[in-house]
Amino acid sequence: MDKTYHTPEEAIADVGDGAVIAIPGFFACGVPRILLRTLIKKGVKGLTLTCGCGPLVGAVEELTQLVKNKQLKKVIDSYGLFRSMSKGLEDPFEQAVRAGEIELEIYPMGTLAEKYRAAGAGIPAFYTPTGVGTVVEKGAVSNMPWNRAATKETRVFDSKKYVLEYALKPDFAFVHAYEGDREGNLRYRRTAKNFNHVMATAARVTIAEVENMVGLGEIAPDCVHTSGIFVTRVVEVPRVSFAITID
Amino acid sequence: MPVKFEGLPREMIAMRAAKELKDGDYVNLGIGIPTLISNWIEGMDIVLQSEIGMLKTGPLASGDGVDQDLVNASCQPVTQIPGTVYFDIVESFAMLRGGRMDAIVLGALQVSEKGDLAGWANPARGLGDVGNIGGSMDLCAGAKRLLITMEHTTREGDPKIVSELTYPATARGVVNMIFTDLAVIEVTPKGLLLKEIYPGVTLEDVQSVTEPKLIIAPDLKEIQL
């Protein structure tokens, strides 16, 4: 089996207008930057990015460009805004959210992790204690009033209240791995793993950019983090240096 | 204008809170004053968890030691030490939500008399409750003990310890202890128990910047550093 693509352009050729794409990364760490840059060049519009923890805050250069190009319709995340309000007011993404040009829908981070896990595991919804007694229990947390109407179901188990959350299944996941082979087996490096593995399991089509394409069997079988069965395409990309810290 | 009292500096609030942790504890420290606690637990057998996906987080990295694939949940470069483990986000939140952490230490915008916590959405930003929830609600959902470290009042001198939250809640009835620059307070079913007080202020001073009525511990002490 050979899932290798020679260029990122070929690897994302079928990503069209209106696609829902999972973007992993914990702020700056573990973000698929080359695939994002390719998405910028491709110019597709009406995109929904489903994130985990603030790649828009961490990979500012790439994601701000998507905002400036008006390629985004919606972002789902747990941490979409700069911590500092003054920095946020200058941020094109926050400006677009304030103007109602881009929808921002917020979930607790662990709930997002579980929404992807459920999608990958064939589970349509799950009950969680996270968010009970807060706005999260009431309905979607969004800057779009029309998205806030639907209420969430709750249920009591063993005299404790839980809220029902649904699986989140993106059309595509762009993931970033340290090593990959032609069959799509992946290994991540240190804390760059974060949302990459679970998003790879969740999406209909998973496209992996890897810093090192290695021969089959070169990732020791008990060191594979994501099995190739979850990965549709693999493309080798250069290692990109980036600023770690965020404001 | 509310009166603003001078109390402990932030490092000393962290130092006091660190005394609540014990050998064998698995601990997650939030952003701000809680992060400073790591400076006061050196030599103790405490394992720090970072929700990005790391157990046994080492000291901050600098210079050549900085690795862009090795950061903590505040996006600071850190180091790995013997015993460090990496895992993905699902496993990370299984530890947090699943109740494995002995103590979670967070900052707060407000804490209520009933132990409700508000820490993620500042209404001053003007986006209502659309804000950075991050992992805070999951941390609260699974904490065996939830400790809060914060300034006793806002920059303007208004109470942050309140009868009812006016900011969006992170979780309800979850806070166990509050460590501020002026006091150490335990949240009990009967109300807020003032256990320790900063030597430079009086009981009346602390009460004047605390909205709910404080219960005074019979063995009230000066803050124990």
Annotation says B42 is catalytic:
no
**What's the confidence (pLDDT) of residue A236?**
98
**What's the confidence (pLDDT) of residue B87?**
98
Assess if residue A2 is contained within a domain.
no
**What's the confidence (pLDDT) of residue B129?**
87
Q: How confident is the prediction along chain A (247 residues), in pLDDT tens digits per residue?
A: 999 999 999 999 999 999 999 999 999 999 999 999 999 999 999 999 999 999 989 999 998 999 999 999 999 999 999 988 888 999 999 999 999 999 999 999 999 999 999 999 999 999 999 999 999 999 999 999 989 888 899 999 999 999 999 999 999 999 999 999 999 999 999 999 999 999 999 999 999 999 999 999 999 999 999 999 999 999 999 999 998 877 6
Structural domain boundaries in chain B: 10-52+86-222
Q: What is the rounded distance in angstroms from the CA atom of residue B163 to the CA atom of residue B120?
A: 19
Same domain, A199 and A220: yes
pLDDT band (50, 70, 90) for residue B123: confident
A 25-64 residues inside an 8 A Cβ radius of B: 26-30, 52-54, 58
**What's the confidence (pLDDT) of residue A164?**
98
Q: What is the rounded distance in angstroms from the CA atom of residue B147 to the CA atom of residue B159?
A: 18
Same domain, A160 and A96: no
Q: Which residue has the tokens 């983090």?
A: A225
Nearest to B170 by CA among B210, B214, B95, B112: B112
Q: What is the rounded distance in angstroms from the CA atom of residue A12 to the CA atom of residue A34?
A: 11
Range of the domain at A90: 7-124+168-236
What is the arithmetic mean of pLDDT over B172-188?
A: 98
Same domain, A155 and A97: no
Nearest neighbour of B90 by CB, restricted to A97, A117, A129: A117
Q: Which of A166, A196, A220 is the last residue of a domain?
A: A166
Q: Is B44 on the interface with A (CB under 8 A)?
A: no
B 137-156 residues inside an 8 A Cβ radius of A: 137-138, 141-142
Same domain, A192 and A146: no
Q: Which residue has the tokens 């919804």?
A: A125
Assess if residue A244 is contained within a domain.
no
Assess if residue A180 is contained within a domain.
yes
Same domain, A91 and A35: yes
Q: What is the pLDDT of residues A186-207, one digit of tens each?
A: 999 999 999 999 999 999 999 9
What is the arithmetic mean of pLDDT over B99-103?
A: 97
Assess if residue A241 is contained within a domain.
no
**Taking CB atoms and an 8 Å cutoff, what residues of chain B touch A178?**
69
Q: Which residue has the higher pLDDT, A96 or B2?
A: A96
> Taking CB atoms and an 8 Å limit, are B75 and A29 in contact across chains?
yes
> Taking CB atoms and an 8 Å limit, are B75 and A246 in contact across chains?
yes
Nearest to A185 by CA among A213, A143, A227: A227
Q: Which two tokens stand for residue A81?
A: 């805004």
Assess if residue A243 is contained within a domain.
no
pLDDT band (50, 70, 90) for residue B4: confident
**What's the confidence (pLDDT) of residue B144?**
96
A 201-230 residues inside an 8 A Cβ radius of B: 225
Same domain, A160 and A229: no
Q: H helices then E strands: how many in chain B?
A: 5, 13
Counting the structural domains of chain A, the total is 2
CA A139 to chain centre: 21
Q: Is B56 on the interface with A (CB under 8 A)?
A: no
Assess if residue A242 is contained within a domain.
no
Tell me, what DSSP letter sits at residue B25?
A: -
**What's the confidence (pLDDT) of residue A247?**
66
Assess if residue A141 is contained within a domain.
yes
What is the arithmetic mean of pLDDT over B100-106?
A: 98
Residue of B nearest to A84 (CA): B125
**What's the confidence (pLDDT) of residue B1?**
57
Please determine, for residue B14, whether its predicted confidence score (pLDDT) is greater than 80.
yes
Same domain, A50 and A70: yes
**Taking CB atoms and an 8 Å cutoff, what residues of chain A touch B132?**
54, 78-81, 83, 106
CATH superfamily of B10-52+86-222: Glutaconate Coenzyme A-transferase (3.40.1080.10)
**What's the confidence (pLDDT) of residue B74?**
87
What is the pairing mode between strands B191-197 and B146-149? Answer: unpaired
Which residue out of B51, B113, B151, B196 is catalytically annotated? Answer: B51
What is the arithmetic mean of pLDDT over B17-24?
A: 97
Same domain, A14 and A104: yes
CATH of the domain at A172: 3.40.1080.10
For chain B, the average pLDDT equals 95
Give the A:B interface size as CB pairs under 8 Å.
165
What is the pairing mode between strands B47-50 and B54-60? Answer: antiparallel
Look up the pTM and report it: 0.96
Nearest to B73 by CA among A75, A25, A116: A25
Q: Is A107 on the interface with B (CB under 8 A)?
A: yes
Burial per residue of A29-59, b for 16 or more beta-carbon CB atoms within 10 angstroms, e otherwise:
bbbbbbbbbbbbeeebeebbbbbbbbbbbbb
